[in-house]
Structure 1
Amino acid sequence: MESLSEATSGAVGALVSTTILYPLDTCKTKYQAELRLPGQAKYRNTTDVFLEAIATRRIPSLYQGLGTKNLQSFISQFIYFYGYSFFKRLYLKKSGSKSIGTKVNLIIAAAAGACTVIITQPLDTASSRMQTSDFGKSKGLWKMLTERTWSEAFDALGISLLLTSNPSIQYTVFDQLKQRLLKEKMKNKSGADSSPEALSAFSAFVLGAVSKCVATCITYPAIRCKVMIQSAESEEDLKDPAYKDQAQARKTVSGALSAIWKREGLLGFYKGLRPQILKTVLSSALLLMTKEKILKTTWVVMLALQRYLVALPRARLKNA
């Protein structure tokens, strides 16, 4: 029951954050997927993507692939939170411990993340292709999954597994910053009052945002490669002879890295970093805020449903 309520509230939180931030996510993804020589780029920033949607009267296209993305977000967050809660409770039961250390917590989070990625990768690939398709020309989920081979549905699976390290980096940085901040506070306190001090809500929010930014900066080249590998082929790209020569190569990790280096140089590995950080921080905040708000309600509903299902057979036997 505890695992199910955690998973359900986390999945609903993912739906809320994904839906609210989807236009920003689409602009960010299309900007990240573009690979052109300096001076030939169609988009200078994510704002240009949004302005193109307005100019071509394709604002609804900023939501193309929303259904698939929501399905992927719901399933992935449900599996992640359920797996995380399940593995955590299993560890406590087997070890006999009352709490979980930082290292074990990171391992459990990575295991839950890996399970999530393997199961939801085809949906992730399909949603990325829908977002990066030309405005108004996105195909449906079924066509996206069936028009290519099954192995292509798992494009960038290796990078996705690598990116499960992102939360591990985030929590490690957060823990280190937290310890330093609390140590400084303890030094400034008087000797009479030497009780340990907890972080304030504002300090925790700031440290959480900073740690997420650090984790995103470290893993961002992998994030950009993942988007490029999963992106759809636009009409302009297909007309470009240079793109045709590199089309197959850039569908591999080494090919994507090489293409970025040749066309955009070192800075190309961090193209779209700012909107990525903005979207990631806002998404995490909305998800966790929604999850915490509905967690207690979800628990009550689950408990009532469980009691109803247990009482139903008894009522039938009594009537019989």
Structure 2
Amino acid sequence: MAGLDWESLTEATSGAVGALVSTTVFYPLDTCKTKYQAEVQSHGSQKYRNLSDVLWEAISSNQVLSLYQGLGTKNLQSFISQFIYFYGYNYFKRLYLVKSGAKFVGTKANLVVGAAAGACTVILTQPLDIVSARMQTCAFGKSKGFWETLTEGSWRDAFDGLGVSLLLTSNPAIQFTVYDQLKHRVLHRQSSKDLSPTGESSPAALSAFSAFVLGAFSKSVATVLTYPAIRCKVMIQASDSDDGDNEVGKSKSPKTFLGALYAIWKKEGILGFFKGLHAQILKTVLASALLLMIKEKISRYTWISMLALRRYLLASRRTIKSA
């Protein structure tokens, strides 16, 4: 049990729980945003002129509950991806500090660490990301089940957009680099350390308000810098079906990053690369800020629980050896 990185495990668990809550709370907004981003049509023939058109379509067709189609898959993907990301992010940071002898992870090193953790996350969770995107972009009320969606194409289809997803590991890398740098400055002002009931120091935590503000700001920076790639990813992963006017778009979704870039440039011009940016910022900033707020608030209790679990496992191990 000594080989486990308990602090990284604590961060991963807290982050995964925060992701589960934030994904559920903002899922209808996420569905509207994804369908709006996936459409690529000439300005005169666009089905969705703004985000509210997607919501109105669901209401007018009595398919409001379809705004939650794919929620289970998205929750699973969010929980697993955030657990892997936060564990990898904290593990690589600690490894860097041990190997380098530095007292603090600088900006450049933080970006590399964040990208490495993001790459591990993407490779392991890409099929789930594909399935959730296709379930969201299906016509309202016509979403298929998880297994049917996953197996409707070849195994290669389950990794559509992997290249752009790896490119987008820069998004959380930028986000958590900005967040960590700001968090470090805030916590640096605190002179005292909180102690757990066992007498061991627990990881310092931000207040809920501070975590929310820092989370919102850091995600805004990352989103603006990487948005063209975000939209291309949504288009690549969007559902293709034969439902005519009920579909998100009338043409097949591009399957490569360059194909998506060309489709946007040809039909929408340069402004098309930022179509839906306001919706992306609204959803991801609120969701990310809520995630980080929850993570910071429960990390102390998660740490105490992990210490208790470690003590229990060590005691059980000693009992087994002595038997």
Please indicate the TM-score interval, normalised by the length of the shorter structure.
Answer: 0.7 to 0.9
1:145 aligns with 2:150: yes
Measure, in 2, the Cα distance between the counterparts of 1:33 and 1:279: 16
User: 1:37 — aligned with what?
Assistant: 42
- What's the CA shift for 1:147? 1.3
Kept after mapping to 1: 8 A contact 2:211/2:292: no
Given residue 267 of structure 2, which amino acid in structure 1 is its aligned partner?
A: R
Matched AA of 1:69:
K
Q: In the alignment, is the contact (CA less than 8 A) between 1:6 and 1:82 conserved in 2?
A: yes
SS at match of 1:68: helix
Contact 2:212 2:290 in 1 (8 A): no
Q: Aligned match of 2:282 in 278, 285, 291?
A: 278
Change (3 A) 1:95 1:174: closer
TM-score normalised according to structure 2 size: 0.83
- Whether contact under 8 Å (1:134, 1:235) holds in the other structure is no
- What is the CA deviation profile of residues 115-137 of structure 1, one whole-angstrom value per residue up to 9, with x for unaligned ones? 11111111101100000001111
State the distance in 2 between where 1:289 and 1:5 align: 15
Question: 288, 293, 298: which is aligned to 1:294?
Answer: 298
Amino acid in the other structure paired with 1:143: E
Q: Is the 8 A contact 1:32 1:271 kept in 2?
A: yes
The residue that corresponds to 1:263 in the other structure is 267
Residue of structure 2 equivalent to 1:311: 315
Tell me the C-alpha RMSD between the 2 structures.
2.8
Say if 2:208 and 2:294, in contact at 8 Å, map to a contact too: no
Tell me how far 1:210 sits from its aligned partner: 4.6
Q: Which consecutive residues of structure 2, in runs of 5 or more, have no partner in the other structure?
A: 1-5, 184-206
After superposition, what is the alpha-carbon deviation per residue over 1:239-296, rounded to whole angstroms, capped at 9, x for unaligned?
99x955xx37x11112211111222222211111101011111011100000011111
Q: Distance in 1 between matches of 2:211 and 2:165?
A: 28
1:212 offset after TM fit, Å? 3.3
Separation (CA, whole Å) in 2 of partners of 1:316 and 1:103: 46
Structure 1, unaligned stretches of length 5 or more? 179-199
Deviation of residue 109 (structure 1)? 1.0
Paired residue total? 294
Question: 1:173 Cα deviation (Å)?
Answer: 6.8
Relative distance call for 1:234 and 1:149 in structure 2 (3 A) is closer
1:219 aligns with 226
User: Secondary structure of 2:49's match?
Assistant: coil
CA offset at residue 84 of structure 1? Answer: 1.0
**What per-residue deviation string (whole Å, max 9, x for no partner) do you get for residues 84-133 of structure 1?**
11111111222222222221111111111111111111110110000000
User: 2 CA distance for matches of 1:292 and 1:204?
Assistant: 7
| Aligned pairs (5 A) from 1:146-165 | 146-165=151-170
| Structure 2 residue 106 is the aligned partner of structure 1 residue 101 | yes
| Residue in structure 2 matched with residue 54 of structure 1 by the alignment | 59
User: 2:219–2:288: 8 Å Cα contact kept in structure 1?
Assistant: no
Distance 2:211 2:315 in 1: 44
Decide which moves more: 93-102 or 121-130.
93-102
Within-5 A mapping of 1:238-257: 243=250, 247=252, 250-257=254-261
Q: Contact (CA 8 Å) 2:115, 2:173: kept in 1 or not?
A: yes
* 2:125 matches 1:89: no
Q: Matches of 1:76 and 1:177 in 2, distance apart?
A: 24
Kindly indicate whether residue 81 of structure 2 is the aligned counterpart of residue 76 of structure 1: yes
1:218 maps to a residue whose letter is L
CA contact (8 A) 2:236 2:260 kept: yes
Matched residue type, 1:212: K
